[in-house]
Chain A
Amino acid sequence: MTRLQVGSGLVGVLLLLAVLAPVLATHPPHVQLDLDALRNAGPSLTHPLGTDPYSRDLLSRVLHGARVSLGIAVLAVLVAVIVGVTVGVVSGWAGGVLDAVLMRIVDAALAVPRLFTVLVPLALWEHVTVPAIIAILGGTGWFAMSRLVRAEVRAARARPWVAAARAVGVPPIRIVARHLLPNIAGPVIVVATMGIGQVVLLEAGLSYLGLGVPQPLPSWGSIIADGQPVLRAAPWVAGSAGLALVATVLAFTLVGDGLRERLDPRAS
């Protein structure tokens, strides 16, 4: 089996679990079942992954967490792709002053660590909402993408068939849409796929710090935070979310790597 097949299978399973979470979950994810008897309970038939320190069913929380974490990551990457591709195409196609200005802005943005640009607005915000998290993660994730797209557009623009299309009067918008975008789709898909894994990790980190997804909404990061004080007594709390996190990042990296190999004619 190739990396692409393993990765795609894993991604498929994760997405399926996320989509079917309301069906598969045995309990509502935020209901505290029995604060006296059911705190940090170990795995059992009624609670396959046990319960957390607030006596919530862990399997249900991890499943719903997949929905939250993957949903945020996919949407944030979508935002990043839209902004990054737009800026990259404009910059690469226009060239000149506009290109120089846009790329210097991107250079400046890339010089600041992403964790910092993400943390500052979140830390200053009182009531962080999920759309805000998506906007912040997406808004800080397009810089490298725009550079990549710009380089690809400049390379594709120099192709003789682009000049030939111009010579028969094909409008610029159409040239971009039909002759350039298909040429840059490959690298964009690879980078976006790997980006999903990274954003899942980043969001988990934020939620772990309590700056991300607000409680009681389950996110893998906040589940790990819940489990941290009871790591010895109930390792399954942090462990289950941690494993889910590892599997997700691994899956998307495998797919990205596999796609890169498949789409890049230079790699045999």
Chain B
Amino acid sequence: MTPLLEIEHLSVSFATRAGPARAVDDVALAIAPGETVTLVGESGCGKTVTALSLLRLLPASATLGPASRIRFDGRDVLALDREELRRLRGGAIGMVFQEPAASLNPVLTIGAHVVETIQAHDDVAGATARTRARELLATVGLRDPERLMARYPHELSGGMQQRAYLAMALAARPRLLIADEPTTALDVTTQAQILALLADLTGRLGMAMLLITHNLGIAAAVADRVAVMYAGRIVELAPRAALFARPAHPYTRGLLQAAPRLDGPARPTPAIPGAVPSATAWPDGCRFRPRCGHAWERCRTEPGLAEAGTDHVARCWLVTERPEGPA
């Protein structure tokens, strides 16, 4: 199937005092229509920058690498003019963010927000837009939309705020939803509800989703495929089942081991030693080498993405080679 979204050679760097920070480095990713892909990684690995670059929402200090390609539905996103880009944002691609409270303007009502988004994409009269807004609020599982329309953001709980913003993101029936840590700011029970809602909506609306999270549990719950990102690069990409059953990259294994489990004896979670390196100075060779327990001579050269199974690739020499001599 032709992919809905196709990213190739995406590189993003930021000018900093310490030199250019290569936040995203040669990332490739494709999402099929209706498919849910999660992008998993630690803070600072480049997942949010990747998401923002898809809608060209990066700050002015960011520069895209010259080889970067982003195609959505056959169109070159990087070649769109201002108006086409505005129509794409919230049109064919919706996006929700981490902090629902901050995504809503405190002086505008929920109704005003949703109506504004509807009218940004569709030239409809106020009454029609208000009816559609009520339907959208009901779609995202908010009860009593009529009353909610007149409420201000601070009168809503975090979960309700996130649902309200989601209603805005869905206003123009997008074919792809980008959700950047949509549940991180919410408490655990609300998280589960929002995730269930997202899974339900993608199914019902036939919408593809790129879900960005640092939480493997979330990836396990909703993803068709999982991409693991480390230090600006995708290090492993696999169907959900394969990734959790046979993680090929030591970093993915470390993440899986570090995830706390509720279904076993309590134990201290083994953390991955060290921290994500700085984007101004990625390590030479394999970027995970300084924190990797398996690192050997070979890792001084950076590995490419090697086939580790069906639709399963990992950026590690161990996929294809074994260290010589006693390991």
Contacts and interface: CB of A to CB of B under 8 A. Distances in A.
A166 B89 CA distance: 7
B89 A164 contact: no
A165 interface: yes
A159 B104 CA distance: 10
Contact of B57 (A166, A171, A178, A183): A166
B57 A174 contact: no
Contacts of B102: 159-161, 164
B241 interface: no
A167 B97 contact: yes
Contacts, number: 65
B120 A167 contact: no
B228 interface: no
B90 interface: yes
A23 B91 CA distance: 60
A164 B169 CA distance: 10
A193 to B, nearest CB: 21
Interface string A177-203: 011001100000000000000000000
B97 A164 contact: yes
A164 B57 CA distance: 10
Contacts of A183: 107
A101 B86 CA distance: 27
A128 to B, nearest CB: 43
Given A164-B97, A174-B116, A178-B116, A169 B104 contact: no
Contacts of B301: none
B55 A167 contact: yes
Contacts of A170: 90, 116-117, 120
B105 A168 contact: no
Nearest to A163: B57
A118 to B, nearest CB: 37
A169 B107 contact: no
A78 B104 CA distance: 32
A159 B101 CA distance: 11
* Interface-centre pick from A159, A168, A170, A178 (highest chain B CB count, 10 A): A168
B88 interface: yes
A165 B168 CA distance: 9
Contacts of B104: 161, 164
B285 to A, nearest CB: 36
A169 B116 contact: no
Interface string B58-92: 00100000000000000000000000001111110
B95 A178 contact: no
A168 B108 contact: no
A154 to B, nearest CB: 13
B94 A168 contact: yes
Contacts of A164: 97, 102-104, 165
B171 A168 contact: yes
Given A160-B97, A161-B104, A169 B57 contact: no
Interface residues of B, number: 30
Contacts of A160: 97, 99, 102-103
Contact of B89 (A95, A161, A167, A178): A167
B86 A169 contact: yes
Given A160-B97, A164-B165, A171 B120 contact: yes
Contacts of A169: 86-91, 117, 120-121, 172
A95 B88 CA distance: 24
A167 B95 contact: yes
A183 B108 CA distance: 11
B97 to A, nearest CB: 6
Contacts of A171: 86, 120
A145 B106 CA distance: 25
Interface string A112-137: 00000000000000000000000000
A165 B165 CA distance: 10
B105 A165 contact: yes
Interface in A143-172: 159-161, 163-171
Nearest to B180: A167
A178 B106 CA distance: 12
A48 to B, nearest CB: 49
Contacts of B89: 166-169
Interface string A34-45: 000000000000
Nearest to B178: A167
Contacts of B168: 168
Interface string A210-240: 0000000000000000000000000000000
Nearest to B88: A169
Contacts of A182: 107
A184 to B, nearest CB: 12
20 contacts: A160-B102, A160-B103, A161-B103, A161-B105, A163-B97, A164-B102, A164-B103, A164-B165, A166-B57, A167-B97, A168-B95, A168-B117, A168-B120, A169-B87, A169-B89, A169-B120, A169-B121, A174-B120, A178-B108, A179-B108
Given A160-B97, A167-B57, A168-B168, 12 more contacts: A160-B102, A161-B106, A167-B55, A167-B90, A168-B95, A169-B88, A169-B172, A174-B116, A174-B120, A178-B108, A178-B112, A179-B108
Interface of A: 95, 159-161, 163-171, 174, 178-179, 182-183
The 3 A-B residue pairs with the shortest CB-CB distance in the complex, in nearest-first order: A168-B90, A169-B90, A160-B102
